[in-house]
Chain A
């Protein structure tokens, strides 16, 4: 079953399209990552799907149900980008109140268990006005999962958390996926997205410019081969000749004292490069052929 399906979903603010005719299908059980620079439309897209803002045009369905639909809201969990809390409520009171709104009132023990899963059990009975930013974030995640939803939206779930808490949240996300939940997350932490997400979409100006698994994204970018060569310092007399030759052989040339990085159109050109170093009387110690990282793909796509 499809967890999310959008057709030409659009959101306009005045005459400016923030989300511009987005078609997307997310299958059940995926951890789907949305990437994009600030203002790319990620949060607006999630806000539309979760009912925080209304779409200008287009349609969408969640868990196979055409939306907006009040009943399907009980089956989704949302951690909005800006999580504000009721200052007079404790963490447990928050979870009890919000779970009752989802039609699955949680008992005290269930609340404590969920708080434990986000490493917040020690502050279960503290008023939220005393919470730090990180604790607010964790309670934001806890309220999103308290009613055991099938589809969970997490808008930057780990931003502002310490390293230990980030690991706890990562573990929680992986466990939820193992239990068959679908998770949609946005993040500015590319390592996190690369590690957790089964599929990734890169958004730019309200549109998805690239989408796929990490392997699919890499395969697309492997049209050029990135080669990193560790070598001895190039003799001064040979430097100009070598660099001129490298510039004609590939692109994105980066030259340091003992390292050279170059993007080649074909793998067979690697041998030519090595011969050029040899010709210029420069020993090569190591040559690495690297696939593009998510960071490189992201920067390239979102430029």
Chain B
């Protein structure tokens, strides 16, 4: 599991797409930190401190699924498509492969977001661990959704397409079901991570629980998948 995770992490960290992602995250941190912005300058100190850190969360909320899917949509199905998965399944358990992949992608995002939050923290001299935890819980959920698609659909081209569609649809649908008063769809908010992010308590832990369910589902399907 560790070896698979390590390889996944380095393959993500080496690619040009990842460099772009890291750059975007740092640019967002930089510009939300910069007090010269018109919007930020009109806020109180407390509000400004919050907006600095919330910038990244809002970005991940709106574009996280798209970026996570863009980087990792083929982390499992490419191995199945190219049949390199046979080297893995004959050596270790399928759960070990799946959790290794998850671990590698998760550590990559942890490093990126921790770096971005640290940058913000250094400038405003305050490290908002709560917002960081919320952001990480959301990214964890998004990683598990991406892995689930990668196990469900064996062709990398299809998961790329699906990644773009869901990346755009998830925040729209997620925010809609969270705030709508329509009773027919309102109940869906409980399976949407966005609902748990609007609360300033430990509700974000439920997002990690949802991520666990997604990963378990992916594991069940992967165990039955022919390689």
- A residues touching B (Cβ–Cβ < 8 Å)? 50-54, 70, 73-74, 76, 78, 80, 82-86, 97-98, 100-102, 143
Contact = CB atoms under 8 A, between A and B. Distances in A.
A49 to B, nearest CB: 10
B125 interface: no
Contacts of B88: 101
A97 B83 contact: no
A101 B226 contact: no
B17 interface: no
B84 A86 contact: yes
B83 A100 contact: no
Interface string B40-59: 00000000000000000000
B90 A76 contact: yes
A78 B90 CA distance: 7
A50 B94 CA distance: 12
B227 A84 contact: no
A84 B84 contact: yes
Interface in B209-227: 223-224, 226-227
A70 B84 CA distance: 18
Given A82-B83, A83-B86, 12 more contacts: A50-B89, A51-B89, A53-B226, A53-B227, A54-B226, A70-B93, A73-B90, A76-B90, A84-B82, A85-B84, A86-B84, A143-B87
Given A54-B224, A80-B83, A86-B84, A101 B4 contact: yes
B92 interface: yes
A74 B223 CA distance: 18
11 contacts: A50-B89, A51-B89, A52-B227, A54-B224, A73-B93, A76-B90, A80-B83, A84-B86, A101-B4, A101-B92, A143-B87
B7 interface: yes
Contacts of A97: 3, 7
A183 to B, nearest CB: 15
Given A52-B86, A84-B82, A98-B87, A73 B92 contact: yes
Contacts of A73: 90-93
B83 A101 contact: no
A85 B91 CA distance: 15
B96 interface: yes
Contacts of A143: 87
A80 B90 contact: yes
The prevalent SS among residues of A at the interface is loop
A4 B90 CA distance: 16
Nearest to A84: B83
A102 B82 contact: no
B90 A100 contact: no
Interface residues of B, number: 19
A51 B96 CA distance: 14
A167 to B, nearest CB: 26
Contacts of B93: 70, 73
A83 B87 CA distance: 8
B87 to A, nearest CB: 6
A62 B227 CA distance: 20
A85 B88 CA distance: 12
A52 B91 contact: no
A51 B84 contact: no
A52 B89 contact: yes
A101 B79 CA distance: 15
Shortest Cβ-Cβ A-B pairs, 9 listed = A70-B93, A78-B90, A84-B83, A100-B3, A101-B91, A80-B86, A50-B90, A84-B82, A53-B226
A83 B85 CA distance: 10
A18 B226 CA distance: 14
A52 B90 contact: yes
Nearest to B94: A51
Contacts of A83: 83, 86
A84 B80 CA distance: 10
Nearest to B96: A70
A84 B96 CA distance: 21
A101 B224 CA distance: 21
B80 to A, nearest CB: 10
Contacts of A101: 3-4, 87-88, 91-92
B155 to A, nearest CB: 16
B132 to A, nearest CB: 32
A25 to B, nearest CB: 22
Nearest to A50: B90
Contacts of B82: 84
Contacts of B4: 101
Contacts of B223: 54
A101 B93 CA distance: 10
Given A54-B224, A80-B83, A74 B3 contact: no
A32 B202 CA distance: 60
